[in-house]
Amino acid sequence: MLILLPPSEGKSSPSAEARFNLGSLAFAEQLGAKRSELIAALERLGKSPEKKAVEALGISPGQAGEIARNAELQSAPVAPASEVYTGVLYDRLGFDTLSAKGRRRAGKHLLISSALWGFIAPGDRIPYYRFSMKAKLPGIGGLPAYWRTSLAEAMEGAGYDETEGLVLDMRSGAYSAAWKPKHASLVTVRGFTEVDGKRKAVSHMAKAVRGVVARAILSAEAMPKDLEGVAGILENDGMRVEPGDRNLDVIEAGQSTCV
């Protein structure tokens, strides 16, 4: 099975002396040309008028300092993606506290979706950057469409799109639009709170749930082979789950408003 995570808007800044090596990333042969094209576009954007660059990246004027950092990726320090990405999902997943077996499983069964890299492994060493799927660079256009064909070919070639495969999708909409398997079963993990019988999806809570789900699977005695196995692992961990054909819902009880 395959677990797909989103990136995080929040990122830590690597301080190691090691510098970025594009060829060291997963899918280097299949996705390297696309990555290089985006890096070159970001370097050009760094020489553009600030207003134009801010609009292209879809950031606020207060984040304009990110334009220059994006333009220097090739000389930037790096760290494992599992350390660079921060936020509630990655906090709950807790890569640094996984067992050795859990980390090995993550290297084999988990990929992180990215507007800049396509898909990367958690151990891939990347620099800090600011670039999301809502960006529209001159000459590049919409990023889901930009990545779609290359990702399909890369994932099929790597064996991630087999007929009997299960893809557990934790990504948000724009990242999910960049790749969907043609053959494997894609199941989206959703998080809800339930109060007085009424359910509500909460973005922050959903991210936390996805981190907890990913950690539970990577820490299980054996990796599940199907959705039933995933649900069993989560239930054994005390979660309330409802599996469906295309969704796996995790429901947490909220505080009742009744008095």
Largest Cα separation within the chain, whole Å, is 61
Q: What is the pLDDT along the chain (259 residues), one digit of tens a residue?
A: 999 999 998 999 998 778 899 999 999 999 999 999 999 999 999 999 999 999 999 999 999 999 999 999 999 999 999 999 999 999 999 999 999 999 999 999 999 999 999 999 999 999 999 999 999 999 999 999 999 999 999 999 999 999 999 999 999 889 999 999 999 999 999 998 888 778 887 777 889 999 999 999 999 999 999 999 999 999 999 999 999 989 999 998 755 444 3
Q: Cα dist. 145→7, 9, 148 in Å?
A: 18, 21, 5
